[in-house]
Amino acid sequence: MQNIPPCFFALFLTNLICLHLSSAYNVLYQVCNSDNNYAGNSAFSTNLEQLSSSLSTEAVAKQGFYENNTIGTAPDQISGLVLCRGDVDSSICRDCLDQSFTDLSNQCPSSNEATIYYDFCLLSYSNQQFLNSTDNIAKIPNVPSTRFSGWDPSDDTVRNTFSTLVNTLLSNVSDQAAYKSRKHFGTGVINITASLPVIYGLSQCVPDFSNITCRACLEDLIYQMLKIFDGQQGGRFLGVRCNLRYDIYAFFYGNPDIQIGSISGTVLPTPRASGKGEYSTPDMASSIFHLKKKKSWNIFKFISS
């Protein structure tokens, strides 16, 4: 499998993102809890080093996923999880995870709880045993700024058309990930008529989730996404246990697992063609939610808006 050149994405996005993509593994977001930092030479930092050496090696050996709820002993104990995107090969997975530990140590220095997201992988660790529960922690909606061509927020028919396309695609892709893929990873494309955009979708859960738990995790993201991504021609919802993404270009490797060419029982109206990008984008900061409010999280955003 060949590597996607960094500026592949930039053809469809902006120059600013191209700059970010000049290194192969660019941070999308990082979430650091800076409440309770650890000292440089503490047992916690030793455990974190142990985590970094074992996690990426184990993950590559185990097809892109590894978690360990108990490294070291309390109070310096660490729980950690890494996950590579289901379509990337082991060398991309390894490089991305290596990068994630380097980036976190530079950018969340001495945080005892942190999560970092990339296109191809994620890393999350904490001094709390967060892997006992199935909570999809550190959820972050990533809303780019471009609306579907023909989008009209005042026209319910247009609204419903785009919302139905996105919902149908992501629901099917999420069924694929939850019930039909051993790795809990699915991709798809919806292509109904020439007048509507072709939309690509991707869903992924941690492979140790049950089918039902995976589908419920994704359903929560779809539900929230349809509300806050209203009319966006692409976007993603990041989370440590499950994540999803859609866009009007093919952003994943390989052929889509599913192709949707019609929507049964519904005659989709054709949205009016009009200019794009004339409506404002939701403010990113106000759309970040579900992060633990009681803690002082620092969220760094690396995607331009």
Ligand X SMILES: *[C@@H]1O[C@H](CO)[C@@H](O)[C@H](O)[C@H]1NC(C)=O
Binding residues (CB under 6 A) for ligand X: these are 50, 54, 68-71, 129, 132, 168, 171-172, 175, 179-182, 191, 198, 211, 260, 263-264
Query: Minimum distance between the CB of residue 159 and ligand X, rounded to whole angstroms?
Result: 18
Percent helix, strand, coil in the chain, to 5, is: 30, 25, 45
Question: What residues contact 62, with CB distance under 8 A and at least 6 apart?
Answer: none
Residue whose CB is nearest to ligand X in the complex, by number: 171
Closest contact distance (angstroms) between CB of 42 and ligand X is 17
Residues 6+ apart with CB under 8 A from 213: 134, 205
DSSP state of 265: T
CB of 237 to ligand X, least distance (A): 17
Cα angle 187, 179, 210; round to 5: 115
**Which is nearer to ligand X, 14 or 191 (by Cβ)?**
191
What's the closest the beta carbon of residue 3 comes to ligand X, in angstroms? 22
Q: Which residue type occupies 182?
A: R
Collapsing DSSP to helix, strand or coil, 178 comes out as helix
Query: Which residue, 28 or 190, has its beta carbon nearer to ligand X?
Result: 190
CA-based torsion, 61, 63, 64, 66: positive or negative: negative
CB of residue 27 to ligand X, shortest distance in Å: 26
**Looking at beta carbons only, is 111 or 203 nearer to ligand X?**
203
Beta carbon nearer to ligand X, 88 or 177: 177
Choice between 103 and 135, CB closer to ligand X? 135
Query: What's the distance, CA 181 to chain centroid?
Result: 18
